[in-house]
Chains A and B, each alone.
Chain A
């Protein structure tokens, strides 16, 4: 799973910028030079209001995008040196995404949704289903395996999404406003679940949020404003 030495950080960002060219003379500088590191097993919150550049940072940390300049390194390896296939493999092996809008496929059962990332790695269908079932059990949905997303509550849907993120046993759980579409009680439950997984499995947890309470739960907070880090607090 981890190619680098255990002492090296899981991921580093060095002077990362991201410029979107929307048209001639119309450039948006979403990130203006951001540097930080995330260690194995760390819990970090990235905080910022909308337009602060946190979504752009999420895409870069999730290896869905490459920086305009600077470096994002996983296990010491720069994502700019990886082609699309290698990025896909990195996402599959090391990153578990949890989205604000859950991003479940409505026509698939909870089990098939959790199987999804396993389809892109070797293994037998039976083995995949067994792992997915265990993951659903872990998030407390053992009795919802054959339900489709439309038949589940928001909190349950997010639990399915978390099961999908952890089924590959990634080094990093990358959660984008995981409680944004949930009421405060359910949101609290989801955060507790994410933190349990982080603790029990030693998975690094990076939560991107604009909510102060969610951010306050992290061991370390990085605050973004206008594409720059304005504060970093432990």
Chain B
């Protein structure tokens, strides 16, 4: 029997039992749909978050408290203000490439408006290092920082919320009991899925922030490398400079690529876990196919006997039932794929995290659904093929 003929016979049998075929294929359909959708969400989250990290600016080195093992949770910082200067001086090829900050959440008030902002206490070169620009007014000057003057630069959202429809330059905002004069407003960055929303920032001199938070420390230091080539030299210089004062476990110098790598790996694992969970439903769907195929073989024992009497070989019968199983799961795979892509589009439109349908998840879903048909169809198909024609013809 030709392959085409086997396929035709299989489709004929499936059509004869439309409802049962549809219900059987539903298990595989839901499985494939879940795989495609969940992998799309996982991939979407991954590229969104790594994109956000990239948005911090390339060629950036992060000097962070702790030994760089992200599994250990947040570490208490041992950095102090003069570590920033020590580090800056140690970097090859001139100063002004390192900046430190302290960060804290604080309620900000201005003329009756109240706003929960992310307050950054920054050192002199912060805006240049993180590649931010002032839209209106001016930045915090070196002397502002050195003297801890009570001046502030607002993120775009902060400015709009505190001073709706007004020019905030020259006005004052209150942080706790202390009033700061607004000297500038930053350009809008846009929302990101990673870290604090930088448009909700309020920037003040680092010494003022330390007073506000009751701290003497610096939370983290950023270093802008001059180029990707120079980044390793900068990393070594930064490490050597800090090692003079701190233990190795107290700090780590990581590049943006490394953070993207680590975060990307974690999210990739998350994606695989999601795919595996969805894969379980695909497996359950496969068991359902196997079950129904066994029922079908038993119901059609006489047909099998008859076909054998008419000259069907063992392999013709086995192939016929195997094709039925694969047609069931393959159909579920194609429809499930379509619904999965549609569901991913809906999620992307509704949720803040975009869903990204990848070619490998499509190939995987279709491949696996056909494979499920083969694997779970083999047992019933072999059983059908090996039926004794005499007994099968007499079967009631």
Contacts and interface: CB of A to CB of B under 8 A. Distances in A.
Are A and B a genuine interacting pair, yes or no?
Answer: yes
A85 B314 contact: yes
Contacts of A125: 5
Contact of A84 (B12, B16, B302, B314): B314
A24 interface: no
A108 B300 CA distance: 13
Given A85-B313, A88-B313, A116 B307 contact: yes
Interface range on chain A (Cβ under 8 Å from partner): 20 to 34
B393 A119 contact: no
A213 B316 CA distance: 40
B390 A92 contact: no
A103 B306 contact: yes
A91 B9 contact: no
A65 B392 CA distance: 12
Contacts of A105: 303, 306
A227 interface: no
B302 A103 contact: yes
B264 to A, nearest CB: 54
A120 B390 contact: no
B294 interface: no
Interface range on chain B (Cβ under 8 Å from partner): 20 to 34
A194 interface: no
A64 B308 contact: yes
A185 to B, nearest CB: 27
Interface string B291-334: 00000000000110011111111111000000000000000000
Nearest to B313: A88
B16 A88 contact: no
Interface in A21-53: none
Contacts of B311: 88-89, 91-93, 117, 120-121, 168
Please report whether the interface of chain B is mostly helix, strand, loop or mixed according to DSSP.
helix
A149 interface: no
Given A64-B389, A64-B390, A107-B16, A91 B309 contact: yes
A59 B308 CA distance: 12
Contacts of B315: 85
Nearest to A94: B311
A120 B313 contact: yes
Nearest to B314: A84
A116 B310 contact: yes
> Which of B302, B307, B309, B390 lies at the interface centre, i.e. has the most chain A CB atoms within 10 A of its CB?
B309
Contact of A117 (B310, B313, B314, B389): B310
Nearest to A113: B306
Contacts of B313: 84-85, 88-89, 120
A119 B9 contact: yes
A169 to B, nearest CB: 13
Nearest to A165: B310
Interface in A152-177: 164, 168
A67 interface: no
A64 B309 contact: yes
Interface of A: 59, 62, 64-65, 84-85, 88-89, 91-93, 97, 99, 103, 105, 107-108, 116-117, 119-121, 125, 164, 168
Given A93-B311, A120-B312, 8 more contacts: A64-B309, A64-B389, A88-B313, A89-B311, A103-B309, A116-B306, A117-B310, A120-B1
23 contacts: A59-B390, A64-B390, A64-B393, A85-B314, A88-B308, A88-B311, A88-B312, A88-B314, A88-B316, A89-B313, A92-B310, A93-B311, A97-B309, A99-B393, A103-B306, A105-B303, A107-B13, A117-B311, A119-B1, A120-B1, A120-B310, A120-B316, A121-B311
